[in-house]
Amino acid sequence: MTIEDLGLEIHFVKENVILAPDSRSSEKFMHGIKVLMAKNYIDNLSEETKKGMREKAEQGTWPSWAPMGYMNVEVDKKKKIVPDPDAAPIVRRMFEWYAAGDCSLEEVRRRAVEAGLIGRRGKAPAKSKIEYALRNVFYTGLFVWNGQVYQGDHEPLVSQDLFRRAQEAFRKDNKPKANDRLSFAYTGLMTCAHCGCAITAEKKKGRYVYYHCTGSRRGCAKPAVREEALESLLGDVVRAVVVGQEVVDWVKAALRESHEEERTFHDGQIEVLQREYVRVQRLIDNAYEDKLEGRISEDLWQRKQREWGAALTDIRGRVENHENASRAYYDEGGRILDLASRAYDLWLQQNAVEKSKLLRVLLSNCTFDGTSLSPTYRKPFCWLVEGQECTNWLRGRGSNPQPSG
């Protein structure tokens, strides 16, 4: 991307493509798609991954590391989370101490460490870890994954009632929730149009979420907006990405062609490697005969055999790399397009956490001035947005799409 911004001419040897400021728009578009793919932005949006994780969550299995007081085990080749016989009783006591309301977090921590609680790396857990545990619904048998609450298949350590009393103790301490930042879906996505500071969020009156400029630089008007209003503005930003079926077909055809070119390159490399393989194999055969005939020592034979054996393994690995190299790439390109063409539908169907992921794929930045948003779309999505400078080629392209060469 940096080289591109310098206005230089870039030669992509493997793909047989030259990219220059005056390149055809279609070539620039394809390059944008490839850059996006290389950056793996869409990995966590992958339908298969999401489906797998969701299925696991729905079956009640927390798809990650066991929290404090539990451990990950494997029973009949199935991964499970069970109470840790040493730590679980201590964690239960922690809830009781804190729920009693006369015990600070630091005191809870002190008592827990005294009772023998140790963290994952064998050190005494920090106060923040204790707080995180005391706020984690996991201990009641539930868990939160991707913004949704699931019924876990793990054994609860505390009752709903004890958990609720511990949460009340937090309220009494008037401590703002440490992981609240995580529950604000759209932080870290926007900057203030006036001063350039980050837009962050906070909860007011315990229910309304407001987004506002952090305003650490002086003289900012600190625009603020309710989450509901912001979400509708962000929806417009997503809706602006428009990919007609015609464009999808055209880009897919171009991807296929570009894929074939890359295939040719890899096939050529594989041929070279295969010739090398045969050559090394012949060396081994000859040396073996030399050894049998007593022309070389057993020692030398052993050494050479190890050396050439390693070379053969190396060649096999490289052939495999070439075989796998471009397989995923064509599919990925298609997925990006599908994503773009369904962006607004996806937006409407998803919860805030997923919405925010989608935005992070589409946007590199977005400024907010208190009433409106000015998004900066990532390539190649910027080419698909009406009114953005780089969409001109699409309008001028006519109705009969041609694959790029």
Complex with Zn ion: residue 213 or 382, whichever CB lies closer = 213
Provide, rounded to whole angstroms, the least separation between the CB of residue 370 and Zn ion. 9
Count of residues that interact with Zn ion, criterion CB under 5 A: 7
Provide, rounded to whole angstroms, the least separation between the CB of residue 224 and Zn ion. 10
User: Exposed (0-12), middle (13-18) or buried (19+): which is 241, by Cβ within 10 Å?
Assistant: buried
Provide, rounded to whole angstroms, the least separation between the CB of residue 366 and Zn ion. 14
Amino acid at 303: R
Provide, rounded to whole angstroms, the least separation between the CB of residue 75 and Zn ion. 54
Complex with Zn ion: residue 61 or 200, whichever CB lies closer = 200
Complex with Zn ion: residue 215 or 375, whichever CB lies closer = 215
How far, in Å, CA of 186 to CA of 305, rounded? 60
213 touches Zn ion by CB under 5 A = yes
How far, in Å, CA of 88 to CA of 107, rounded? 18
Provide, rounded to whole angstroms, the least separation between the CB of residue 185 and Zn ion. 20
Piece of 16-24, 161-169, 207-215, 386-394 that binds Zn ion (CB under 5 A): 207-215
**Residues 40-59 close enough to bind Zn ion by CB under 5 A:** none
Piece of 143-151, 213-221, 242-250, 344-352 that binds Zn ion (CB under 5 A): 213-221
Q: Reduce the secondary structure of the chain to three states and give it as a string.
A: CHHHHCCCCEEECCCCEEECCCCCHHHHHHHHHHHHHHCCCCHHHCHHHHHHHHHHHHCCCCCCCCCCCEEEEEECCEEEEEECCCCHHHHHHHHHHHHCCCCCHHHHHHHHHHCCCCCCCCCCCCHHHHHHHHCCHHHHCEEEECCEEEECCCCCCCCHHHHHHHHHHHHHHCCCCCCHHHHCCCCCCCEECCCCCEEEEEEECCCEEEEEECCCCCCCCCCEEEHHHHHHHHHHHHHCECCCHHHHHHHHHHHHHHHHHHHHHHHHHHHHHHHHHHHHHHHHHHHHHHHHCCCCCHHHHHHHHHHHHHHHHHHHHHHHHHHHHCHHHHHHHHHHHHHHHCHHHHHHHCCHHHHHHHHHHHEEEEEECCCCEEEEECCCHHHHECCCHHHHHHHHCCCCCCCCC
Q: Going residue by residue from 214 to 243, which x/- string records binding to Zn ion, judged by CB under 5 A? A: -x----x-----------------------
Provide, rounded to whole angstroms, the least separation between the CB of residue 125 and Zn ion. 37
Complex with Zn ion: residue 367 or 391, whichever CB lies closer = 367
Complex with Zn ion: residue 194 or 266, whichever CB lies closer = 194
Complex with Zn ion: residue 216 or 399, whichever CB lies closer = 216
Q: Evaluate the omega torsion of the peptide bond into residue 380 and state whether it is cis, within 30 degrees of 0.
A: yes
Provide, rounded to whole angstroms, the least separation between the CB of residue 193 and Zn ion. 8
Complex with Zn ion: residue 39 or 217, whichever CB lies closer = 217
Provide, rounded to whole angstroms, the least separation between the CB of residue 188 and Zn ion. 15
Piece of 29-37, 129-137, 166-174, 206-214 that binds Zn ion (CB under 5 A): 206-214
Q: Going residue by residue from 343 to 372, which x/- string records binding to Zn ion, judged by CB under 5 A? A: ------------------------------
Provide, rounded to whole angstroms, the least separation between the CB of residue 195 and Zn ion. 3
Quickly tell me which residue has 């505390």 as its tokens. 158
Complex with Zn ion: residue 224 or 353, whichever CB lies closer = 224
**Residues 144-203 close enough to bind Zn ion by CB under 5 A:** 192, 194-195, 197
Complex with Zn ion: residue 53 or 195, whichever CB lies closer = 195
Provide, rounded to whole angstroms, the least separation between the CB of residue 197 and Zn ion. 5
Complex with Zn ion: residue 220 or 233, whichever CB lies closer = 220
Q: Where does this chain bind Zn ion (CB under 5 A)?
A: 192, 194-195, 197, 213, 215, 220
